[in-house]
Amino acid sequence: MSSETTTGSGTTASVNSTADAVERLHIAGLHAPTDAVLSVRDLNVRFNSENGVVHAVRGVDFDLLPGKTLGIVGESGSGKSVTSLAIMGLLPETAEVTGSVRLKGRELLGLSDKAMCEYRGNELAMVFQDPLSSLTPVYTVGTQIIEALTIHNPTMSKQAKEARAVELLAMVGIPSPKDRLKAFPHEFSGGMRQRVMIAIAIANNPRVLIADEPTTALDVTIQAQVLEVLHTAQEETGAAVVMITHDLGVVAGMADDIMVMYAGKPVETGAVDDIYYNPRMPYTLGLLGAVPRVDVSEKSSLVPIDGIPPNLLHTPTGCSFAPRCPLATEACLEGEPALAPVPGVALHHAACIKSEALGGDVDVHDIFSAPPVPESRFDAIPRENRSTVLELKDVRKHFPLTKGALLKKRIGTVKAVDGLSFDVREGECFSIVGESGSGKTTTLLEIMEFHKDQDGEVVIGGISNKQAADTKTKNAMRRELQMVFQDPTGALDPRFTVYEVLAEPLQNAGLDRQAIRKRIMELMKLVGLQPDHVNRFPNQFSGGQRQRIGIARALAVNPKLVVLDEPVSALDVSVQAGVINLLDKLRAELGLSYLLVAHDLSVVRHISNRVAVMYLGKIVEIGEVDRVFDNPRHPYTRALLSAIPVPDPHVERTRERIILKGDLPSPLDAPKGCNFATRCPVFAALPAAKQEKCLTLEPPLEAVAPSSAAQALEPAAPSPDQRFACFFPDGELDEDMLVSHDQAEHHAP
């Protein structure tokens, strides 16, 4: 598959050489002078900081053709966002930007703020990462959209502008757009606000639309919706899109070309298939191997990339990735390799002296010495024969919704957790997945509560919360169960050294000083940290190392069960892989059980044995992870799974997606029958008579009948470990909610 868009000029230019810069511009001129809508040449950004000059972007080149999509991929600090802000001219005045950015042949760099205003929001538009803070809270969304129109069309009449704003809101899929014009941003959910942001960005039919991590802050189902909106927006306006992301899955289906950035420099560029199927730079290989796949059941360790990205205060003398690269040799440290064409593949460039030895047939696990899949002693024991470490029986948490200041009137109930029952056995990892607001965190809080007045029973290591009257019992329960938190920075006291962090639970357990010291050294080694770093403070560690400290703290008192609340969602993919591997290893070695809450279904599939899918406080599907993921029965599970982007361009382009309508409803409006009916793709396609059943009766959790094939083989086979709560699992899906983009349409010139 060839693409017209090119990334990388392919010159072997060294930075700061004016002769080479001229050469690059020359090449840029030679290459389809009028075709490219946006040409970037030798873009460099430097910031002055207290410690010296940070060279955040070091020589970025690309051409963007109309209607095409370029994905810029990299971890935090790789310079991808700075690149986009430099193109938009939105960097602080103190930033030093050099090189050339041409929009339809006109140079943008060096223009004054005022001169740039003519391009920004007009031909060049941008969508930002955090939709919650990107809209002005005190103006209605209508005002904010109309402002974008007014700036560039001062003569447009008020009615025309309003009509256009309504049209834009309808285009990005906001229901009853006319009324919503008068709504303020806080009256919209995160996904809806991101739609408004897209509406503002495409208001003036931009030629180039830059999207900087547009879905990172959103739930997967909402992410699928927003990506769909971006797709529509691109089709409507014919704009070229620059999509910036750290998630290789998000761009796999959308992008025509990919640029992988590392340490402020593009390290590999090329057509999307070349990058995903034939990577020629170890870093790209590592990134692809570090992401767990939601569609693959085969268990293999993830590829961790050890170390941290280089400090951009100092210009790297050799390859900037060499310190983390398992293939690095002496030669890699002699001069930074330039982006060089990969022989035999047009327009594919890689900055690696060994790129010729790499390619699609090289196994990333061999290069990055991924650890072997750990085996737990429990793996051989059937689940029924293992003891239960945690059991929940019909746990409920209802919050009363009240009105009035002095005399409180109960006007409703929020059923955050509504009748949850499950158990976790020894040595297994049980995960709870669901959108934000589905009650995952409340469930964890209920488990950690240990109060006898709770509605429902929580049994931890054989002790029920109904017996938890005195401190001693509570302490015994707490020792069985420890927690690892989402944000490793916020969870560690910045004034405690690692030693103090780890010593605290041990002191509570009544150990003497000698024993504490010994245990801490053990723990440090266990989680892969250097024991002599115990006297450092948390801020001297990287994010991944801090999460390791959090894990060590949880393990200090030898718990049976570790509760993991989104343990890797705050980490970069390469670091995330290391932490996931560590969790896997610890579970096998120490015989731990995990209760994992995560929104990333790929991580869940990789690490867990069993999974429960929650929707509005209830479990809608539960069972063995491979069963649930390979053969989802509940429409919600199917929608969730189809929303996860997979880092595989072919799969992404061809598969059909279920795009749920709207957001998670407020628990207040939960319907009487099935909670999911309001958004259900099966329900929408059902005849009215059957819909009635969904609306009035609550579907119970029922076991899946064994498939006929399984019964034929082994007639007495027990029903498989999978239960779901839906009356019509085999019902047809509503066609409006099914979206697929076939390849031909997507790649039409």
Partner 1 sequence: MLKYLAKRGITYVVMIFLTTSAGYFLAVSSLKPALLEQERIPRPTPEQVANSMRLKGLDPDLNAWERYVQWLTGVVTRWDWGRSPNGAFINAEFGDRVWISTRLFLASIILTLVIGVALGVYSAARQYKFQDRVITSYSYLAYIVPAPIAYFLVQLGAININETVGQRIFFVTGISTPGMEPGWAQIVDMAAHYAVPTVAITLVGWGAYQIAQRQYLLDNVNADFVRTARAKGLSRNQAIARHALRVSFIPVAQSIAFTIPAIFAGGFFAEKIFAWPGVGSWSIDAISLQDVNAATATLAYGSVIFALGAILADFATTLVDPRVRVQ
Q: Return d(Cα 185, Cα 248) in angstroms, integer.
A: 30
Q: Which is nearer to partner 1, 121 or 623 (CB)?
A: 121
For partner 1, the closer CB: 85 or 370: 85
Assigned token pair, 547: 């999460």
Residue with Cβ nearer partner 1 (149 or 561): 149
128 is a contact residue toward partner 1 (CB under 8 A)? yes
Which of 34, 114, 714, 715 contacts partner 1 by CB under 8 A?
114
Q: 673-677, long-range: CB within 8 Å, 24+ apart, which pairs?
A: 673/697, 673/698, 673/699, 674/698, 674/699, 674/725, 674/726, 674/727, 675/615, 675/616, 675/617, 675/618, 675/620, 676/615, 676/616, 676/620, 676/634, 676/635, 676/636, 676/726
Question: Coil, helix or strand for 211?
Answer: strand
Q: Which is nearer to partner 1, 20 or 162 (CB)?
A: 162
Per CB under 8 A, does 338 bind partner 1? no
Least distance (Å) from partner 1 to the CB of residue 137? 6
CA distance 195 to 265: 31
The C-alpha atoms of residue 369 and residue 249 are separated, in whole angstroms, by 23
Question: Of the two residues 56 and 338, which places its CB atom closer to partner 1 in the complex?
Answer: 56
Q: Can residue 136 be called a binding residue for partner 1 (CB under 8 A)?
A: yes
Q: List the structure tokens of 290.
A: 């570090």
Which residues in the 153-212 window bind partner 1 by CB under 8 A? 184, 186, 197, 200-201
| Candidate ranges 126-134, 226-234, 536-544, 554-562; the one touching partner 1 (CB under 8 A) | 126-134
Cα–Cα distance list, 465 to 183, 296, 454, 456 (Å): 46, 39, 8, 9
Q: Which CB atom, from 208 or from 520, has the smaller least distance to partner 1?
A: 208
SS3 236: helix
Q: How far is the CB of 69 from partner 1 (least distance, A)?
A: 19
505 binds partner 1 (CB under 8 A): no
- CA nearest neighbour of 571 among 551, 590, 591, 589: 551
* Rounded least distance, CB 44 to partner 1, Å: 22
Binding test (CB under 8 A) with partner 1, winner from 20, 23, 35, 147: 147
Rounded to a whole number of angstroms, the minimum distance from the CB of residue 195 to partner 1 is 14
The site for partner 1, by CB under 8 A, has a size of: 33
Report how far residue 204's alpha carbon sits from residue 211's, in angstroms, rounded to the nearest whole number. 16
Indicate which single residue of 121, 270, 699, 731 sits in contact with partner 1 (rule: CB under 8 A): 121
Closest residue by Cα to residue 256 from 739, 644, 741, 655? 741
Q: Select the span of 131-139, 299-307, 432-440, 632-640 touching partner 1 (CB under 8 A).
A: 131-139
Q: Rounded CA gap, 269 and 347, in Å?
A: 8
How many angstroms separate the CA atoms of 669 and 245, rounded?
A: 35
Measured from the CB atom, is 120 or 397 closer to partner 1? Answer: 120
Please report, as residue ranges, which positions from 241 to 280 form the binding site for partner 1 (by CB under 8 A).
Answer: none
Q: Select from 115-123, 254-262, 556-564, 731-739 the region that touches partner 1 (CB under 8 A).
A: 115-123
Q: Binding to partner 1 by residue 106, rule CB under 8 A?
A: no
Distance CA 126, CA 211 (A): 6
User: Cα(first)–Cα(last) distance of the chain, in Å?
Assistant: 13
Binding piece for partner 1, criterion CB under 8 A, among 138-146, 163-171, 703-711, 736-744: 138-146
Q: Which of 135, 302, 350, 364 binds partner 1 (CB under 8 A)?
A: 135
- The CA-based angle 658-659-662, given to 5 degrees, is 145
Task: Please say which residue, 201 or 526, places its beta carbon nearer to partner 1.
Answer: 201
Interface with partner 1 includes 496 (CB under 8 A)?
A: no
Which 225-244 residues touch partner 1, going by CB under 8 A? none
**Among 50-58, 144-152, 518-526, 682-690, the segment contacting partner 1 (CB under 8 A):** 144-152
For 735, which DSSP code? G
Cα–Cα dist 715/710, whole Å: 8
Select the residue interacting with partner 1 from 152, 386, 398, 536 (CB under 8 A): 152
Instruction: Give the three-state DSSP class for 453.
Output: coil
Q: Which residue from 113, 375, 692, 732 is in contact with partner 1, where contact means CB under 8 A?
A: 113
Residue 663 to residue 635: CA distance in whole angstroms: 16
Which residues within the stretch 351-410 sit at the binding site for partner 1 (CB under 8 A)?
Answer: 403, 405
Closest approach, Cβ 56 to partner 1, in A, equals 17
Q: Which of 37, 64, 82, 125 binds partner 1 (CB under 8 A)?
A: 125
Nearest to 594 by CA among 515, 685, 700, 484: 484
Shortest Cβ distance from residue 199 to partner 1 (Å)? 12
Q: How far is the CB of 433 from partner 1 (least distance, A)?
A: 29
Does the footprint of partner 1 cover residue 130 (CB under 8 A)?
A: yes
Whether residue 415 contacts residue 398, with contact meaning beta carbons closer than 8 Å, is answered with yes
Q: Which is nearer to partner 1, 156 or 703 (CB)?
A: 156
Name all contacts of 135-138 with Cβ < 8 Å and 24+ positions apart.
135/185, 135/193, 135/196, 135/197, 136/185, 137/184, 137/185, 137/186, 138/184
Q: Which stretch binds partner 1 (CB under 8 A): 148-156, 252-260, 439-447, 498-506?
A: 148-156
Amino acid letter for position 543: G
Residue span binding partner 1 (CB under 8 A) among the ranges 65-73, 113-121, 531-539, 733-741: 113-121
- Residue 611 to residue 602: CA distance in whole angstroms: 12
Work out the burial of residue 463: count CB atoms within 10 Å of its CB; fewer than 13 is exposed, 13-18 middle, 19 or more buried: middle
Q: Closer to partner 1 at the Cβ: 49 or 508?
A: 49
- Write out the residues near partner 1 by the rule CB under 8 A: 88, 90, 113-114, 117-122, 125-126, 128, 130, 133-140, 147-148, 151-152, 184, 186, 197, 200-201, 403, 405
